[in-house]
Amino acid sequence: MIKTEDKLMMMPGPVEVPHRVLMAMAKPMINHRGKEFSAIYDECQTISADLFKTKAENISIITGSGTAGMEAAVGCLNNKSDKILAIENGKFGQRFKKLAGKYGTVVPLEFEWGKSVDLAAVEEKLAAGDIKTITMVHNESSTAIRNPAPEIGALAKKYGAYFILDVVSSLGGDDIRVDDWGVDIAVTGSQKCLAAPPGISIVAAGERALAEMEKVTTRPYYLDLVAYHKSASKDLKETPYTPAVSLFYALLEALRIVTEEGLENRIERHYLMTQAVRDAVTAIGIEMFPHLNEVSAYSNTVSAMKAPAGINGEDIKKAMNKRGVIISGGQDELKGKIFRIGSMGATTPTNIMTTLAELEQVLCDMGVVEAPGAVMDIAGETMAKLYE
Ligand code: PLP
């Protein structure tokens, strides 16, 4: 039996955390109302802002997973009577819809999970009038599709709506341009492409959104972005309530690693690794799951494949798990139908090679692939640049 600590984490988060980041958490506690913590918060804000491509003062860092940031964004920007256009083409778009129902009035726009967002359908809803806020997931991890954020940002601007974008599974692994795309609030999580442990959500909220939030009377208490913003202002640089200090140590170390690698290099590494997965699996007859259109793309950070005919995707996941590689299956209605491989954070080409070789063997054992041996060359060629 392979021990837990020897398993390779290849899920779309949580991901393997570099040793340096784990060690950072072993430091002693400090006063969270002191200069030392402020310096940590300040540096986390500055580096995060570079990744979101926005101003450092727009960044708030919350103790809580990605969903905490999603809830803060939806809840702080909307009163119950405000109409929220919730774009859904997967599990996390659906989560935004559920949150929108709690804090505002949902106008759902649902596409089959795995299908692309149709811009004409979005514009039709906006033209019907009165939409205050649009929510969308940039990188829909449940289906491995990249949704058209710049295009939705342009539509939000045209119709005067606020735009909330989930970049939970793409920030640090794909190109995000909050200011250029007209995103009012963007949200990420620590346990995906940043390769930190789970438990922190980073929110980028621009001036327009912050001014509007002041007028919202039903803002959540613990997740009040107005309070976070005030505490993170120039003189304080802290959080309104006691933060998970150890997770802040880890986040800072993880963000420093991103800086050392360089964002462009990191995005390219993510791209080449997902492309290698796609090239290798399609070469052995496995179909990719997402249906793309002219404005969508395959995810830069996770790949979703259809389970081959007659095979349950959960069985592929279980067989991989036995071989020591932890991948993901489908969620909810996609359970059994697809399987997913993450290539996020600190994942290396070697991790990708190992995963593909084990997958090929599993598919061989299931009688789907005739003989192992094809995937390594194909993936190696795609990732050749990473070996230079
Ligand atoms: N959004 C996306 C795209 C995700 O992939 C996830 C987690 O998998 C979430 C939101 C929710 O984040 P968390 O599980 O950290 O609350």
Q: Is 263 in the pocket of ligand 1 (CB under 6 A)?
A: no
**What does each C-alpha distance from 310 to 203, 281, 304, 316, 383 come to in angstroms?**
43, 17, 18, 12, 31
pLDDT in tens, 164-196: 999 999 999 999 999 999 999 999 999 999 999
Cβ atoms of 145 and 114 within 8 Å: the answer is yes
Ligand 1 atom closest to the CA of 140, numbered from 1: 3
Position 110: which residue type? E
Q: Is 15 in the pocket of ligand 1 (CB under 6 A)?
A: no
Give the distance (Å) from ligand 1 centre to CA of residue 67: 6
Listed residue (278, 286, 366) closest to 318, CA to CA: 366
What band does 249 get if pLDDT is binned at 50, 70 and 90? very high
pLDDT at residue 234 above 80? no
pLDDT at residue 372 above 90? no
Give the distance (Å) from ligand 1 centre to CA of residue 169: 7
pLDDT at residue 314 above 90? yes
- Count of C-beta atoms within a 10 Å radius of residue 220: 16
Q: In what order do the strands lie in the sheet with 131-137?
A: 59-63, 200-205, 185-189, 162-166, 131-137, 83-88, 105-110
Position 26: which residue type? A
Cβ atoms of 355 and 325 within 8 Å: the answer is yes
For a mutational test of ligand 1's pocket, the pick from 141, 165, 193, 194, i.e. the residue with the most ligand atoms closer than 8 A to its C-beta, is 141
For a mutational test of ligand 1's pocket, the pick from 169, 188, 191, i.e. the residue with the most ligand atoms closer than 8 A to its C-beta, is 169
Give the distance (Å) from ligand 1 centre to CA of residue 141: 8
Strands (E) located in the chain: 8-9, 59-63, 83-88, 105-110, 131-137, 139-140, 145-146, 162-166, 185-189, 200-205, 297-298, 302-306, 325-326, 328-329, 338-342
- pLDDT at res. 4: 80
Mean pLDDT, residues 217-230: 98
Structure tokens at 25: 């958490």
Bond prior to 372 in cis (omega within 30° of 0): no
- pLDDT at res. 175: 98
Across all residues in the chain, what is the average pLDDT? 97
Position 312: which residue type? N
Q: 204 - beta bridge partners?
A: 59, 186
Q: Is 166 in the pocket of ligand 1 (CB under 6 A)?
A: yes
Q: What residues contact 316, with CB distance under 8 A and at least 6 apart? A: 307, 327, 329, 339, 359, 362, 363, 366
Q: Is 67 in the pocket of ligand 1 (CB under 6 A)?
A: yes
For a mutational test of ligand 1's pocket, the pick from 168, 202, 343, 344, i.e. the residue with the most ligand atoms closer than 8 A to its C-beta, is 168
- pLDDT at res. 129: 84
Helical (H) or strand (E) element with 248 = helix 245-261
- pLDDT at res. 2: 79
CA–CA separation, 253 and 231 (whole Å): 22
> Got the DSSP string for 75-112?
HHH--TTSEEEEEESSHHHHHHHHHHHHHSEEEEEE--
Q: Is 141 in the pocket of ligand 1 (CB under 6 A)?
A: yes
Ligand 1 atom closest to the CA of 139, numbered from 1: 3
Q: Is 168 in the pocket of ligand 1 (CB under 6 A)?
A: yes
Which residue's CA is minimally distant from atom 12 of ligand 1?
Answer: 66
